[in-house]
Amino acid sequence: EAGVVQSPRYKIIEKKQPVAFWCNPISGHNTLYWYLQNLGQGPELLIRYENEEAVDDSQLPKDRFSAERLKGVDSTLKIQPAELGDSAVYLCASSRSGLITDTQYFGPGTRLTVL
């Protein structure tokens, strides 16, 4: 079974530029998560999708961040414009459902550096 795929793995941009991250979840997984992980911290949830519906985006800074999950499979997370403080690892995870006992499987993440 293929794992969660993310691209790119690394991205370096100048501040005020836009950036986008892509995630392909494990086949058959209906729930998709985007997390932000700052250096020395644990992952923090940005948004959770059930199929194509964003059911929890309370932690997503909506002034500059946006996400979509067309057709309930792949997902894209966008930042526009990027700020210095956005430098972090962006993790995507998926699970069969959003149930508490369904394991979340994480991708390798995209490390973003904003200069």
- Residues facing 22 on adjacent strands: 7, 76
Please select the residue that binds another protein; options are 29, 109, 112, 114, rule is CB under 8 A. 109
Please select the residue that binds another protein; options are 46, 82, 91, 112, rule is CB under 8 A. 91
Task: Give every CB contact of residue 35 below 8 A, 6+ residues apart in sequence.
Answer: 43, 44, 45, 46, 90, 91, 92, 93, 106
At 59, list the tokens: 């932690």
Please select the residue that binds another protein; options are 45, 73, 74, 96, rule is CB under 8 A. 45
Residue 41 as a binder of another protein (CB under 8 A): the answer is yes
Residues that bind another protein (CB under 8 A): 4, 40-45, 48, 56, 91, 93, 98-101, 103-109
